[in-house]
A and B are shown apart, each in its own frame.
Chain A
Amino acid sequence: MPDATELELIAQELRADPGLGQDAVLGTLHFRDRGTIEVAPAHIRPALAKLRGRGYSFLSSVHGVDYHPHEPRLGVHYEMLDMSAVDRLTVKARVPTEAPHLPSVTPDWPTANHQEREVYDMFGVVFDGHPDLRRILMPEDYEGHPQRRDFPVGGEPVLFTFNDSQ
């Protein structure tokens, strides 16, 4: 886990990169010995490429979080792992529900294929450039994005004898 100073150095490097620019990194957070870098959604692909150059060559996980009621609501986390230094780094990108578009990192990181489909299925984040963006866990014709916070948990009332409507 990079310590706080190294996290800032990484953020500085990202900002200094000509492909990214000063506004690419929106913030850093060092919490419980783990570092998180928040990146602007449009710059996610070059940011991950730069981190790969820095040694974080394994993308462990791509998952979504719904930050309701804080805007921008939908966040996508990219968990990076540096295997030689055993270092983990989280890269975050947040998009609003009105324009939930993120460039897909699948061309660079094939592991993100199914994982981005899952984020699309569960949260509705559209990944531009994904080779096959379809629902993966829910039926193809399902409406709604279940893991958003305002989607009801659902379920059936348990059938007892008194409410046996069958």
Chain B
Amino acid sequence: MTETPTQASPDTPAKSTYRQMEESITLAPIEEQIADWGGGHETQELLTLNMGPHHPATHGVLRLLVTLQGEVVRDIKPIIGYVHTGIEKTAEDKAYWKVIPVLERMDYLSYYFNAMAYCTAVEDLAQVEVPKRAQYLRVIHLELNRIMSHLVWLGTSALDLGAISMFWYCFREREQILDLFEMSSGQRMHTRYFQVGGVIEDIPAGFAAKLKAFVDVMPSRADQYNALLHGNEIVLQRLRGTCQLDAESLLQLGVTGPLLRAAGNPWDLRKAAPYSSYEDFDFKIPVGTVGDNYDRFAVRLAEIYESVKIISQALDGLPDGPHITTDRKIALPPRHELATSMEALIHHFKLVTEGMRVPPGEVYSAIEAPRGELGCFVRSDGSSKPARVHMRDPSFVNLQALSSMAEGSYIADLIATLAMLDPVLGGIDR
């Protein structure tokens, strides 16, 4: 990839190394392939289009170098890194519980999941037991977040496809969910609700009633979305049969989540390796048949119904108990104890100033996020700050499947596929 700098001629200035590197992304293999396809005797040229980072349909700052032959996509090169925030590096600099707000902002539509993956990894390392009530509360918030993420996906995807009014319907429900989040934690997004050992606060009075009202109304709302989109001829034409990819190729590419389930493989970590009391709940995994865009769309829509079922079961069976572990070396003691107990005061002091100490070791722990397998690798060296935090983000790995999916289809199908892929650039770029 390294080239010697071109000599500056009198007319053209010397190219900067950056320019050379940019121009060194060669399309020679594609051109050979085009020649194989018999494009030699036609006067069609390949057009490389830059769907730049600023584009209404790229779901964030994703840059795609699309090589087109006419309107047919021949190759896609995604270029990412435009919202790279150095989250993992920042996380090494902070105490264990201070990492949680930093990591939450990674995949900004599934913030509870980011925190959950990290908390399960640290709880594994520190061998902390999460009380049952905290597990159920976590499940409730995780499934609410899953519904919310799918709603945003649905709204923005429909916007891309042209069904603009879906956006307002989905965001109407999203506002209800965000009201619930605000009730339990005070913030709409990036709530810092999950802590190592449980959740930061028990749910307030009235939360259960509001949640019940939401759970009762959500299935009918999802029916509205179905009615609006499922029978719509344009949506069906655009999604059925386009950009299909079979489960084997998806597994080779490391794709998990609704994309894999749409192709027929019922792999879901909530059922396969249950964590946080998911085994107590009765729910199904929606699975597609063909693996085209329509299946991806239908699988996510069906997952909303399943999540509602999980939430109502968790709400009905919510056990009593503490909302965070009682291990004072991990979780802050309740404030009323600070007035009476000396140890509580010392624990509080140590936790707030230095942070919790976690025994040295490395752990990789994975959960099922709305986009696939979200893994968190934490390496601890025994001090109060993690030595390495890596999030295995599902969108980052799923994006590699885009070129296989969209090859040979039209640009409009590319847009639809990108929408159905549900990439969240915060997670991709971290």
Q: Closest approach, in angstroms, between the C-beta of B423 and any C-beta of chain A?
A: 12
B364 in contact with A90 (CB, 8 Å)? yes
A146 CB to closest chain B CB (Å) equals: 6
A101 at the interface (CB under 8 A from B): no
Cβ–Cβ contact B81 & A61, under 8 A: no
Q: Which of B81, B88, B375 contacts A79 (CB 8 A)?
A: B375
Number of interface residues of B (CB under 8 A): 46
A60–B254 contact, CB under 8 A?
yes
Chain A residues contacting B345 (CB-CB under 8 Å) are none
- Whether A109 contacts B252 by the Cβ 8 Å rule is yes
Contact A115–B397 (Cβ < 8 Å)? yes
Closest-CB distance, A14 to chain B (whole angstroms) = 20
Checking B17, B86, B125, B388 against A141 with a beta-carbon cut-off of 8 angstroms, the contacting residue is B17
Q: Which residues of A contact B88 (CB under 8 A)?
A: 122, 147
Q: Return chain A residues, CB-CB under 8 Å to B272.
A: 83, 86
Q: Which of B18, B92, B127 contacts A32 (CB 8 A)?
A: B127
Q: Which residues of B contact A32 (CB under 8 A)?
A: 124-125, 127, 361, 363
CA distance A64 to B390 in the complex (A): 8
Residue of B nearest to A108 (CB): B252
Is B396 positioned at the interface, with any CB of A under 8 Å from its CB? yes
In the complex, how many angstroms separate the beta carbon of B26 from the nearest chain A beta carbon? 10
B84 contacts A137, C-beta separation under 8 Å: yes
User: Is B89's CB under 8 angstroms from A57's CB?
Assistant: no
A15-60 residues at the B interface, CB under 8 angstroms: 31-32, 34, 36, 57-60
Contact pick for B375, options A34, A60, A114, CB 8 Å: A60
> Does residue B217 face the partner (Cβ distance < 8 Å to A)?
no
CA distance in complex: A34, B364 (Å):
9
Is B1's CB within 8 Å of the partner chain A?
yes
**Cβ-based interface call for A77 (8 A):** yes
Q: In the complex, what residues of B have CB within 8 A of residue A36's CB? A: 362
> A61 and B400: CB pair below 8 A?
no
CA gap between A79 and B256 in the complex, in Å: 14
- Is residue A88 within 8 Å, beta carbon to beta carbon, of the partner chain? yes
Residues of B within 8 A of A154 (CB): 86
B327 at the interface (CB under 8 A from A): no
Contact with B along A81-122 (1 / 0, CB 8 A): 001001010100000000000000000011111110010001
Shortest distance between the CB of B230 and any CB in chain A (Å): 31
- Give CA–CA (A146, B81) in the complex, Å: 13
Judge whether A139 is part of the interface by a CB distance below 8 angstroms.
Answer: yes
Task: Specify the chain B residue showing the minimal Cβ separation from A68.
Answer: B387
Rounded to whole angstroms, the CA-CA distance of A153 and B88 in the bound complex is 10
Partner of A137, one of B81, B251, B362: B81
User: Which among B16, B81, B127 has the highest number of chain A CB atoms within 10 Å?
Assistant: B81
Contact: A111 with B377, CB < 8 Å? no
The reply on A164 being an interface residue by CB < 8 A is no
Within B377-430, the residues touching A (CB, 8 Å) are 377, 379, 387-388, 390, 392, 396-397, 399-400, 429-430
A137 touches B364 (CB 8 A): no
> CB distance B254 to A63 under 8 Å?
no
Cβ contact within 8 Å between B86 and A65: no
Q: Whole-angstrom distance between the alpha carbons of A45 and B267 in the complex?
A: 26
Q: Mark A60-74, 1 if CB is under 8 A from B, else 0.
A: 110111100000000
Task: Fill in one digit per residue for B274-296: 1 if any A CB lies within 8 Å of its CB, else 0.
Answer: 00000000000000000000000
Nearest-neighbor residue (CB-CB) of B430 within chain A: A137
Query: Separation in Å of the B79 CB from the closest CB of chain A?
Result: 8
Which residues of A have CB within 8 Å of B81?
A: 135-139
**Cross-interface CB contact of B273 among A61, A64, A86, A109, cutoff 8 Å:** A86
Q: Are A110 and B21 in contact (CB under 8 A)?
A: no
Question: Beyond A88-B366, A137-B84: 11 further Cβ-contacts under 8 Å?
Answer: A61-B364, A61-B377, A63-B377, A77-B364, A79-B364, A79-B377, A110-B254, A111-B397, A137-B429, A137-B430, A140-B22
Interface residues of A (CB under 8 A from B): 31-32, 34, 36, 57-61, 63-66, 77, 79, 83, 86, 88, 90, 109-115, 118, 122, 133-141, 146-147, 149, 151, 153-154
CB-CB nearest 7 A-B residue pairs:
A111-B254, A61-B392, A137-B81, A141-B18, A137-B84, A63-B390, A140-B21
Would you mind naming 10 contact pairs between A and B with Cβ atoms under 8 Å apart? A32-B127, A34-B364, A36-B362, A60-B254, A86-B272, A114-B397, A122-B88, A136-B81, A138-B81, A146-B89
